[in-house]
């Protein structure tokens, strides 16, 4: 019998769900044994349920093709067959909040890609290189839920991954004011150009709810646990504009920063290149060896050349230069459906396993 942990993917037929399935093919610790989606897909094989909707560049893994898709709403039935689940369902926020807690209450840990629980005070929202210690708040959440091993943990929004890790690496220089503009790929809306032909050659200057997430979520990541909840940091203040651009995968951010202790360019680049976290120390299976790289060329980072750095789990930075109004400006790039969605959640689950929060049932 396999020693791997049995994993269920809630919303496994969707775009993020498909990314989970692709990333978990041949994973050394986790094995996808259960897939759940809407009642429309329940009862079909995974291959039938996805039909022509497979959006990954790599083929559908053979091991999942004949899995019979379950109904996400049949919580007990899904939970009984797995050690933990990844959540990527698309329902209303209230429905997602409830169903993720329902899974947790069956003693099934939930690692979620959804935003529903990102501001639940005792739910950790984690980038494993930045705030792995926030997982400790799970003990308080379990008390609230009345569980012994069930809990919900989430990863933050895709948009912040192109600049929040960079600002973290520069913490010693005390950044206090940040202006960011993000140029976000269409896959962030679960779309390809086939589904969204109006995006060819187009820019749309609005992504619902994205600017608030981009401004506030980094502060929660930089917060600390006090009295059983995560209290967000107050600084640096961030203001953001989020723009949809005709790119399939890869969110770019153009960022201006003011520092209390203004560093030199060499200090900034060294801090990026030397930045490591627990995933690198523990050599977690999905951890990038180099979390952040600096590209010297004036025309980098480019989506076409750089988005898959470290299998989409690394952050690219370039164009670091002094600014006339702010201290420094730079351009960041990260893969929105890998580091920004499923890959970030898989790394969270690996961290949770390493910390002893996810075990065999
Ligand atoms: N795309 C991204 O990069 C990204 C990044 C961060 C967060 N997110 C969030 O992640 C979630 C999934 O996004 P996505 O792009 O993968 O969406 P998607 O492609 O539309 O997939 C949605 C999934 O949810 C299931 N579903 C839909 N309605 C349901 C219902 N009423 N009951 C149960 N299951 C239902 C679908 O099942 P059927 O196939 O049976 O309909 C499918 O498996 C969304 O909440 C989205 O906001 C997406």
Cα–ligand 1 centroid distance for 113 (angstroms): 10
Q: Is residue 183 helix, strand or coil?
A: strand
**37 ligand 1 Cβ < 6 A:** yes
On the question of pLDDT at 4 being above 70, the answer is yes
Tokens representing residue 118 in the block: 């990102």
On the question of pLDDT at 226 being above 60, the answer is yes
**336 ligand 1 Cβ < 6 A:** yes
- pLDDT number for residue 68: 98
Summary mean pLDDT of the chain: 97
Q: Which residues of 11-24 are buried (b: 16+ CB within 10 A; e: fewer)?
A: bbbbbbbbbbbbbb
- DSSP H helical ranges for 158-315: 164-169, 210-221, 265-274, 278-282, 303-306
- Quickly state the pLDDT bin for 173 (edges 50, 70, 90): very high
Query: Sign of dihedral through CA atoms 155, 158, 164, 166?
Result: positive
**179 ligand 1 Cβ < 6 A:** no
- pLDDT number for residue 1: 52
- pLDDT number for residue 138: 98
Q: Is residue 41 helix, strand or coil?
A: coil
**184 ligand 1 Cβ < 6 A:** no
Catalytic residue status for 134: no
Cα–ligand 1 centroid distance for 227 (angstroms): 34
One-character DSSP codes across 303-329:
HHHHTTGGGGTSEEEEEEEE-SSSSEE
Query: Sign of dihedral through CA atoms 170, 255, 192, 248?
Result: negative
What single DSSP character describes residue 45?
Answer: B
Predicted structure pTM score = 0.97
Mean pLDDT of 52-60: 93
- pLDDT number for residue 289: 98
Angle between helices 138-145 and 93-105 (to 10 degrees): 90
Judge residue 349's burial from the number of C-beta atoms within 10 Å of its C-beta, 0-12 exposed, 13-18 middle, 19 or more buried: buried
For residues 89 and 112, what is the distance between their CA atoms, to the nearest angstrom?
A: 9
- Quickly state the pLDDT bin for 14 (edges 50, 70, 90): very high
Element counts in the chain: helices (H) and strands (E):
12, 14
- pLDDT number for residue 234: 97
Cα–ligand 1 centroid distance for 57 (angstroms): 19
Nearest atom, ligand 1, residue 19 CA: 16
Cα–ligand 1 centroid distance for 89 (angstroms): 4
- Closest residue to atom 32 of ligand 1, CA basis: 38
For residues 137 and 145, what is the distance between their CA atoms, to the nearest angstrom?
A: 13
Query: Ligand 1 pocket: which of 41, 50, 52, 88 to mutate (most atoms <8 Å of CB)?
Result: 88
Mean pLDDT of 12-20: 94
- pLDDT number for residue 291: 98
Q: Which of 117, 134, 251, 335 is catalytic?
A: 251
Tokens representing residue 307 in the block: 């988005």
Q: For 82-129, what is each residue's pLDDT tens digit?
A: 999 999 999 999 999 999 999 999 999 999 999 999 999 999 999 999
Cα–ligand 1 centroid distance for 341 (angstroms): 12
On the question of pLDDT at 202 being above 60, the answer is yes
Mean pLDDT of 39-63: 96
Catalytic residue status for 27: no
- Closest residue to atom 41 of ligand 1, CA basis: 38
Cα–ligand 1 centroid distance for 190 (angstroms): 8
CB-CB contact of 345 with 22 (8 Å):
no
**312 ligand 1 Cβ < 6 A:** no
- Closest residue to atom 34 of ligand 1, CA basis: 38
């Amino acid at each position: 019998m396999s020693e791997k942990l049995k994993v269920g993917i809630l919303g496994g037929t969707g775009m993020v769900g498909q990314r989970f399935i692709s990333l978990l093919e041949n994973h050394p610790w986790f094995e996808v044994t259960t897939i759940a989606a809407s009642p429309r897909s329940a009862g079909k094989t995974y291959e039938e349920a996805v039909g022509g909707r497979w959006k990954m560049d790599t083929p559908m893994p053979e091991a999942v093709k004949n899995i019979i898709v379950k109904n996400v709403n049949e919580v007990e039935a899904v939970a009984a067959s797995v050690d933990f689940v990844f959540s990527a369902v698309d329902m209303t926020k209230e429905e997602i909040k409830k169903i993720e807690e329902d899974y947790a209450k069956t003693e099934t840990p939930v690692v979620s890609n959804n935003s529903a629980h990102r501001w639940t005070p005792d739910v950790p929202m984690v980038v494993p290189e930045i705030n792995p210690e926030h997982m400790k708040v799970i003990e308080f959440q379990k008390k609230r839920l009345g569980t012994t091993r069930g809990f919900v943990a989430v990863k933050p929004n895709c948009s912040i991954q192109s600049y929040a890790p960079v600002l973290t690496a520069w913490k010693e220089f005390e950044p206090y004011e940040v202006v960011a503009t993000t140029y976000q790929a269409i896959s962030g809306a679960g779309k390809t150009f086939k589904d969204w032909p109006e995006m060819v050659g187009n820019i749309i200057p609005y992504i619902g709810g994205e600017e608030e997430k981009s401004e506030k979520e980094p502060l929660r990541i930089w917060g600390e646990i006090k009295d059983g909840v995560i209290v967000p940091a107050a600084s640096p203040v961030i203001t953001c504009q989020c723009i949809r651009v005709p790119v399939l995968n890869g969110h770019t951010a153009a960022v201006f920063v003011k520092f209390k202790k203004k560093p030199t360019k060499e200090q900034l680049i060294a801090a990026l290149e030397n930045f490591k976290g627990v995933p690198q120390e523990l050599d977690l299976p999905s951890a990038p060896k180099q979390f952040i790289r600096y590209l010297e060329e004036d025309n980098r980072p480019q989506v076409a050349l750089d988005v898959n750095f470290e299998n989409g789990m690394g952050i690219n930075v370039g164009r670091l230069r002094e600014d006339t109004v702010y201290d420094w400006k730079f351009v960041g790039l990260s893969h929105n459906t890998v580091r920004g969605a499923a890959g970030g959640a898989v790394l969270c689950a690996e961290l949770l396993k390493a910390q002893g929060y996810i075990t065999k049932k």
